[in-house]
Amino acid sequence: MTGADSTARKLVSLSPLPSWALALLVAAVVLGVVLAAAGLRREPSLARRFVLIGLRIVAAAAALFLLLEPGVRTLQVARVKNRVAVLVDRTASMGLPAAPGAGSRSAAVAEALERILPGLKALEDRFSVEVLGFEPALVPVGEEILRTAAAPGTRTDLLGALRALRATDTGGSRKLSGVLLFSDGADNAELQAGVSARASTELAALGFPVSTVQVGESSLLDVALENLKVDDFAFVRNAVAVEVELRVRGFPGRDVPVVLEREGQVLGTKTVHVTGADETTQVSFTFTPDQTGRFVYTLSTPVFPGEAVTENNTRSFVLKVIRDRVRVLLVVGRPSWDERFLRGLLRQDANVDLVSFYILRTSSDDTQTRNPERELSLIPFPMEEIFDAKLSTFDVVIFQNFGHSDPQLSIAQYERKLEQYVANGGALVAIGGDRAFGDGRTSYPILDRALPVDSVGQAASVAPYRLHLTAEGQRHPVTSVLPTGTASLAAWDELPAASGVNLVRAKPGATVLLDHPGLLVDGKPAPVLALWEHGRGRAMALMTDDSWTWAFTVHRNGEPSRLYDRFWGNALRWLVRDPDLTTLQVSADPPSVEPGTPVGAAVTAREADYQPAAGADVTVELSSVRDRRVVGTARATTGADGMAHVSFPPQPVGAYRVRASARSGERALGEAEDALAVRTLGPELTDATVRTDILVALARATGGKAYRLPLQALPDFPLLDPPVVEVGRSRDRPLWDRWEWLGLLGTALGLEWVLRRRFGYV
């Protein structure tokens, strides 16, 4: 315990009777007073009533005093000091100038601490004062450290720092009475967009007031590239748009050039004329990649004299350039919601060049028209041109609920070409419906060789059922709609019930990703989604025509799940053998790192059936794009999940490539390549702005006050009181064991009895 010992006294009951017994006795005494008053309600003399009732109340009070046995308890106590925390921002932005031509923000905090030191020492009479820095971990700091040592933190997380401080509040001598926070408010974590309603609620629940002190001024000279907007990937020979905000403060009337480069090659230059003292201009570039792969691109501006921050004049990003658009042929047996959604999805996909045909009606349909010989669609179905001359130009052919026997619509004469198209490296998708598979479809025995399923000659089942993701489906890239297998499984489980399924059997060698949980075919669950490799090509069969309903699913938090889009996107990528779905993959982890951060890479090795290649030997090389030389080599062995992680020491700023190869025994699993950028800028130095709004809102939410430097003395900021009291020894002194109290009881009762006789009540 801290603080001086003191003595406290309080009134207590020393009666040995239990609480319930005392309660009954008190009730009996009160009842006696009530009955005495009721017996006098007919007494005509008001004075007599007051005297008799008063004597009964005095007797009752004396009786209660004797029953409760009151006493005085003397306590020896010691008052324990609560804590007051002075919390100092120790992240990289505190190394920026506090004002034009001034020292760093950390140095300004050191000067402020020196001035408020007498006030902090005065607080030590009642509180335990701690000076801590967050970087983001809480560490003790002093004036000397703030003046000389660079701020090491790479991310400002004000809410996280307060959470960590609250975790040290264990009650007793560790209870917090308040916090004085020195920061520039440049939060780039949860409060980056400001103090939201949810964050405000959490701040209010901290249990102690947080007063803030703004460090630094916003009137700085600076040219910064902010809010870079670019897609994570692009298509070769397709235009790519890059947008960035150029913020110029303190340079009115200047022309500021912005340059876009790809690994040293200039792609474009834009010049912005600045008119105001603090002006933000949107700058956009459009360029066309001419080869696939990952590349490091850099946006930069010149460094002007007097700039507060020079690091934010450059922004680098990694762009993945993939193959040109996938050419898809969609042939539909009849219009439906399933066809409408799939065609709409493929049409709006910038990566897909779609050619689609669907049959409005057949010659056997009775349309009640005067001219039944009119065309069955808007244009004739150009079968010969598509399935003969142009078939090889398509990457994927999709038959959706298609299987007509009408001579004008039958593809029987082209099925051999279609089967050869798949065997030679093409891709085929068959989607279910009343004209697909089973009894509803015309038999194409040669084309069926390319499909992973066989018809069982049974009618389709239309009973609702829940799709079941198989063990293979949990790890296959087509059904991996979320980053992890567990998350994908949960997403598929949340789908609504499906309305029907074409009954088929999976061929030997086919992989079933979705099946029916209740129907059996040949003793096995009926397949709903199956695929395989046929020759050098791939084929997939989906035995339902209501996948369009997946587009309406949402997560439990109410956001769209996008499962429909992701499923068909994954399917197309798998069908055309996207390099990202190869059996060996390497990815920079992450693709962009800050200076001084180790460079990591993750390697995933799979067997031909996509099962993890456990125990494979992996070699990863890191090479500099600028120097064109290998700067590091790392080796690892994959685990049971087929994954391995390697790390390289921090590298200088620039563009790098990682190349991986893997072997399982004597068998090579392939090679893979990725790119990464060591950025010239971390999030702490992106913007030199002081966030006054965050500091004010934080203080308001916790019941504190907001101040700003300079401080001449310690401000009178809010603190919780009183301190905790701990009890030591105690001694009881009874008050009831005196003859005067018994005499008072007897006198009151006796006098009341005498007067009652005199007044004629006895």
Give the DSSP per-residue string, 558-590: SSB--HHHHHHHHHHHHHTT-GGGSSEEEEESS
> pLDDT tens, 194-209?
888 898 999 999 889 9
pLDDT score, position 1: 44
Mean pLDDT, rounded, for 459-482:
86
pLDDT score, position 358: 73
Least confident of 9-13, 16-20, 102-106, 358-362: 358-362
CB of 338 closer than 8 Å to CB of 499: no
Which residue from 42, 61, 35, 40 is spatially nearest to 51, judged by alpha carbons?
Answer: 40
**Banded pLDDT at 53 (limits 50, 70, 90):** confident
The amino acid that residue 243 corresponds to is E
Higher pLDDT, 729 or 235: 235
- What percentage of the chain has pLDDT greater than the value 90? 17
The amino acid that residue 102 corresponds to is A
**Banded pLDDT at 735 (limits 50, 70, 90):** low
**Banded pLDDT at 622 (limits 50, 70, 90):** very high
> How is the chain split into domains, by residue range?
5-78+729-758, 82-215+691-722, 222-319, 326-577, 580-683
pLDDT score, position 415: 81
- Report which listed range, 93-102, 177-186, 727-736, is most confident: 177-186
**Residues 591, 318: Cα–Cα separation, whole Å:** 7
Higher pLDDT, 704 or 409: 704
Cis peptide before 710 (omega within 30 of 0): yes
pLDDT score, position 126: 81
- CA dist 24 to 18, 68, 687, Å? 10, 12, 73
Burial of 376 (0-12, 13-18, 19+ CB in 10 A): middle
**Banded pLDDT at 369 (limits 50, 70, 90):** very low
Question: Does this chain's domain 222-319 share its CATH topology with 580-683?
Answer: yes
Across the beta sheet with 396-400, the strand order is 352-358, 326-332, 396-400, 427-431, 537-542, 524-534, 511-521, 468-469
Mean pLDDT, rounded, for 243-270:
89
- What percentage of the chain has pLDDT greater than the value 70? 85
pLDDT score, position 193: 82
**Banded pLDDT at 602 (limits 50, 70, 90):** very high
Which CATH architecture group holds 580-683?
Sandwich (2.60)
Mean pLDDT, rounded, for 113-141:
86
**Residues 635, 644: Cα–Cα separation, whole Å:** 9
Which CATH architecture group holds 326-577?
3-Layer(aba) Sandwich (3.40)
Which CATH architecture group holds 82-215+691-722?
3-Layer(aba) Sandwich (3.40)
Which residue from 755, 726, 733, 749 is spatially nearest to 171, judged by alpha carbons?
Answer: 726
Least confident of 216-225, 711-720, 729-738: 729-738
pLDDT score, position 365: 45
Class of the CATH-defined domain 222-319: mainly beta
Residue 646 has pLDDT above 90, yes or no: yes
pLDDT, the chain, mean:
81
> pLDDT tens, 216-225?
887 678 888 8
- CA dist 224 to 13, 308, 314, Å? 74, 10, 8
pLDDT score, position 182: 92
Which residue from 565, 694, 622, 568 is spatially nearest to 181, judged by alpha carbons?
Answer: 694
Which residue from 560, 687, 591 is spatially nearest to 192, judged by alpha carbons?
Answer: 687
Terminal C-alpha separation, the chain: 65
Q: What is the pTM of this model?
A: 0.46
